[in-house]
Amino acid sequence: MAANRESQSMARFTLFPFLPPELRIQIWNESFFPRVVEIHVEGFMVDSYKDWNLDNRLYAPTLEEELEWVSNSSNPAALYVCSESRTLALRHYWFSLPVLWGKRKEQVPRILYFDLQADLLVILGKLTIFQLSPLLELFRTRDPLGRGPRRLGMSMSCWFAQYRPYYHENYFLTLLEEFVLFMYEEQRPPAYFRDGECALEAVEGMDAFSRLISEHLEEVHGLNNWRIVNLQFIPGPVSVRRIIGGDTIVR
């Protein structure tokens, strides 16, 4: 019992509010680490994607009319701790995107906060170029630098179905600083994934395959910083536990 109380006391720092403001601000800023944020689609032909005629591109839906963007990734915990932490977090994660959250067909609206320079946006499923472009354009037009997310990930199946066949430069891909291809092929995250975090895991034995596609990525799209990874889904409010000193998650 005593050991348990000692462990709990070490996980809390009740004197934090009495620290000098400069030190508190530095601590909050150190908590704003790069995240891996998933986003996926509900709505237009998601479940019958294979039946859609990709040649009929003129009838691809617009972002506002047909597609419902969903994310079960957690927002940064500092947004909800206190007014001081929220003010600082909103300066860092200033980009906000209206999305849905929750179980399929039981989703509720919420705001997803994102750091355009540091966070990695991973887009699940097999979206077409014409479905994905409005989302990336929304990011780009709201970015003062006109670039959008610097780090982007998509599934291998999406890349080979929608981007690999095209031998002309894709504008949005040329704006990236890092590009990730992940092995997860499902349209949605696992059912257990709620208010969680994504993590990247290195894939071994992909050297030959990487060489096969490197020319297209590097020469056509100018993507020199890219990699192939596994995508992990960690459920629960992991960010909150990390900041307040609870369980440690090894990424």
Distance CA 64, CA 170 (A): 22
250 versus 76: the higher-pLDDT residue is 76
Give domain status of residue 7, yes or no: no
Contacts of 89 (CB under 8 A, 6+ apart): 28, 32, 76, 78, 79, 113
**CB of 176 closer than 8 Å to CB of 115:** no
Confidence of residue 224 (pLDDT cuts 50, 70, 90): confident
On the question of pLDDT at 148 being above 60, the answer is yes
Give domain status of residue 205, yes or no: yes
Distance CA 104, CA 126 (A): 18
Percent of the chain past pLDDT 70, that is, above it, reads: 73
- φ/ψ of residue 2, rounded to 5: -65, -40
pLDDT in tens, 107-121: 789 999 999 999 999
Distance CA 189, CA 154 (A): 13
Segment holding 228, helix H or strand E? strand 226-234
Confidence of residue 166 (pLDDT cuts 50, 70, 90): low
- pLDDT for the residue 71: 94
pLDDT in tens, 82-103: 999 999 999 999 999 999 887 7
Give domain status of residue 249, yes or no: no
Distance CA 214, CA 192 (A): 34
* Number of domains present in the structure of the chain: 1
Give domain status of residue 9, yes or no: no
- pLDDT for the residue 243: 38
Residue 83 burial (10 A CB sphere; 0-12, 13-18, 19+): exposed
Confidence of residue 181 (pLDDT cuts 50, 70, 90): very high
On the question of pLDDT at 139 being above 80, the answer is yes
Give domain status of residue 144, yes or no: yes
Give domain status of residue 98, yes or no: yes
On the question of pLDDT at 131 being above 90, the answer is no
The residue length of the chain stands at 251
Give domain status of residue 3, yes or no: no
- pLDDT for the residue 220: 66
Domain extent, residue 80, equals 15-244
DSSP letter at 236 equals S
pLDDT in tens, 7-57: 555 567 788 888 898 999 999 999 899 999 999 987 654 444 444 444 444
